[in-house]
Structure 1
Amino acid sequence: MGIRFCKDGHLILIVIEDSEEITAWKMKKQRQLSKKKKALKERIKAATKIQAWWRGTLVRRTLLHAALRAWVIQCWWRMTLDRRLQKKRRAALITYAHAERAVVKLQSLVRMWRVHWRYCQVLNAIYIIQCHWQCHNCQTCALLRGHCVVTATHLQFHIEIINP
């Protein structure tokens, strides 16, 4: 390389270059650029993989949260249905118990009325017998002995006349 000055004061630059050296230098620059581009591509590829992993993690986390929320709602709904079923069963049982109590009470009242009615019949019969016996002439010649048996279906009354 050489520098020359002209008479007018202008600078003249004379450059002598070696074409092989320039070519090597350009190739070196191109290799460095291609290495940088390759490294940049690798970094971009790595960054893309990291971003894809992170997005996948976020999606899976969102899906997991949604599944957990759905599971909680399903558990609550099953519990609500079970409570409703238990309330219906309890109401049916209470209704059945009331009906059974009413039937038992009615049966008891009917049985009591039937026994009372039979007792009244026997009592009326006893009154009639007593009245006729008192009107009889031989009141001192005989004694009355009575025996009464009450069962659920009927009333038995036995009267004996004993002569001493």
Structure 2
Amino acid sequence: MDCTKIGQICLGRYSGLLTKLENAAVKIQSWWRGNMVRRTLLHTALRAWVIQCWWRSMQAKMLEQRRRLALRLYTCQEWAVVKVQAQVRMWQARRRFLQARQAACIIQSHWRWHTSQTRGLIRGRYEVKASRLELDIEILLT
């Protein structure tokens, strides 16, 4: 027999087996590729989830920092308002005090002038007798 005929006979006998083996290899390869794709997708999804968690935590931290900064700014502004109000109230109280002191000085100077002008013109004497006070006042007008 010829070599080619032997090859054809062998090929004919095993051709069904080869197709079965090829089909099985294709199935195994497709199963493996599917597993690899699913694993890659799972890893990608997990990495995306980790990145999203990190980003959300960063956003929360930034929001908290903004809130603290806004609170600090508000507190500083309120404290400045309180200081200005205290200064204005102190200025008003000092102004009223100085006006009252000036009025007292004017009244005192007028009273001193009046007493210096009328000194010696009012003469009087008083005596205490038993249970009553006897008062003699003499006013001299010029």
TM-score interval, normalised by the smaller of the two chains: 0.7 to 0.9
- Aligned counterpart, 2:123: 139
Query: Which structure is richer in relative contact order (CA contacts within 8 A, separation 6 or more)?
Result: 1
- Aligned counterpart, 1:65: 50
From 88, 95, 102, the counterpart of 1:103: 88
Aligned residues between the structures: 122
Question: 1:91, 1:26 → 2: CA distance?
Answer: 94
Structure holding more helix per residue: 2
Q: Partner amino acid for 1:37?
A: E
Is 1:51 equivalent to 2:36 in the alignment?
Answer: yes
Deviation at 1:133, TM superposition (A): 2.8
Larger Rg: 1
* Runs of 4+ off more than 4 Å: 25-28
Deviation at 1:28, TM superposition (A): 4.5
Question: 2:69, 2:112 → 1: CA distance?
Answer: 63
Q: Partner amino acid for 1:34?
A: T
Q: Partner amino acid for 2:93?
A: S
Q: Secondary structure of 2:123's partner?
A: coil
Structure 1 spans left out of the alignment, 5+ residues: 1-14, 144-164
**TM-score under structure 1 normalisation?**
0.66
**TM-score under structure 2 normalisation?**
0.75
Question: 2:114, 2:79 → 1: CA distance?
Answer: 52
Deviation at 1:101, TM superposition (A): 1.1
From 117, 128, 139, the counterpart of 2:102: 117
- Aligned counterpart, 1:34: 19
Structure 2 spans left out of the alignment, 5+ residues: 125-136
Deviation at 1:27, TM superposition (A): 4.3
Aligned-residue identity in percent:
7
Query: Aligned Cα RMSD in Å?
Result: 2.4
Question: 2:91, 2:120 → 1: CA distance?
Answer: 43
Deviation at 1:128, TM superposition (A): 2.1
- Aligned counterpart, 1:85: 70
